[in-house]
Amino acid sequence: MKRNIVIATVTAAALIGGGTVAAYASADDGNAPTQRQTNVRVADDRDDAADDRNEAADDRNDAADDRDDAADDRNDDADDRSDDATEARASKITSADAIASALKNTPGTAVSADRDDDGAGAWDVNVVKGDGTEYSVQVSPDTAKVVGAQRDDDDDNDGREDLAALKGASVDAREAAEAGAAKGTVTDVDLDDDGPAAWSVETTRGEWKVDLKTGKVTQDHDDDTAQGNGQDDRDGDDD
C-alpha cells in the first residue's frame, strides 16, 4: 500500500514538473516572436529617420544649387548689360535715330531696336507692316544708313499681336527710346506685352518701363540693377 502511495506521489510530481516546463516553454515560444518584431520595428524607424535626414540634406543641396544658378544668371545678365553698354556708348547713332532711319527705309511700326552681336554692332530694328509681316532692318551705328533689311518669313502671329498691343498707343518706339535716354544710354527698346503693355527700355543704368499713352518712365521692379544702384524713380525723373 505504501509503495503505491509513493509511486502515485512521484507520478504526480513528474506531471506537475512537466507541466511547469511546458508552461515555461510555452511562455518562451510566445515571447520570442514579439521580441523579434520589436527589434525589426526599431530598425525600420532608424532607417526611416536616416532617409528623412538624407532627404533634408538633398533639399538643402538643391536650394544651394538654385541660389548658385540664380547668381550665375545675374552675373550673365550683368555681363550682357555691360557689353551692350560698351557698344551703345561707342555708337554715334542713338537708338531713336536708328528707329527713325529704319522707318524711312521700311515704313511700318517699329516694335524693337537693339544692337546686333555679330561683330559689326549695327542697330537691328524690327518693323511690322500693317498686314502683320515683320522686317529686320539693320542700321549703321556710325552713319545711321540702312545696311540691310530682311523679311521675317516665320509663320507666326507675333507681328499682329504687337500691332494689337499698340492699338491706341500715343507713344511709339522712337519716343520711348528718347524718354528712356533720360535714364542713361539706351541699349535696347522692346514692346513688353506681359501684363499691361508698355515699352521696355534698357539703359546703361538699368531697365525701365515707358507708358504707351503718357510716356511716363518708371523703374522696372523686376530689374535688380537699378535697385542696386539706389535709383529712385517714384517721380519719373532723373536723380
3-state SS class at 226: helix
What the block records as the C-alpha cell of 135 is 522686317
- Return the pLDDT at 100: 98
* Average pLDDT of the segment spanning 235-239: 41
Residue 217 pLDDT exceeds 60: yes
User: What are the φ/ψ torsions at residue 228 (nearest 5 degrees)?
Assistant: -65, -25
- Return the pLDDT at 30: 52
Residue type, 39: N
Grade residue 223 by pLDDT with cuts at 50, 70 and 90.
low
pTM: 0.60
Give the other-Cβ count within 10 Å of 180's Cβ. 28
Rounded to the nearest 10°, the torsion over CA 117, 66, 70, 233 is 140
Residue type, 160: R
Grade residue 87 by pLDDT with cuts at 50, 70 and 90.
low
Asked whether 110 and 127 are in contact (CB, 8 A), the reply is yes
User: What are the φ/ψ torsions at residue 188 (nearest 5 degrees)?
Assistant: -160, 135
Residue range 93-228 forms a domain whose CATH class is: alpha beta
- Return the pLDDT at 193: 84
What the block records as the C-alpha cell of 35 is 521580441
- Return the pLDDT at 67: 77
* Average pLDDT of the segment spanning 129-143: 95
Q: Quote the CA–CA distance of 18 and 11 in Å, as a whole number.
A: 10
Q: Are strands 198-203 and 109-115 parallel, antiparallel or unpaired?
A: unpaired
- Return the pLDDT at 31: 54
Grade residue 32 by pLDDT with cuts at 50, 70 and 90.
low
Residue 19 pLDDT exceeds 60: no
180 to each of 90, 114, 162, 208, 219, how far by Cα in Å? Answer: 18, 14, 20, 7, 10
Q: What is the pLDDT of residues 42-81, one digit of tens each?
A: 788 888 888 888 988 888 888 888 777 755 655 555 455 5
Residue 198 pLDDT exceeds 70: yes
3-state SS class at 91: coil
Tell me the pLDDT of the chain averaged across its residues: 78
Cα angle for residues 196, 154, 191 (degrees, 5° grid)? 20
14-18, 42-46, 131-135: range with highest mean pLDDT: 131-135
3-state SS class at 164: helix
User: Where is pLDDT greater, at 229 or 104?
Assistant: 104
* 211 CB-near residues (< 8 Å, 6+ apart): 171, 198, 199, 218
- Return the pLDDT at 73: 52
- Return the pLDDT at 15: 44
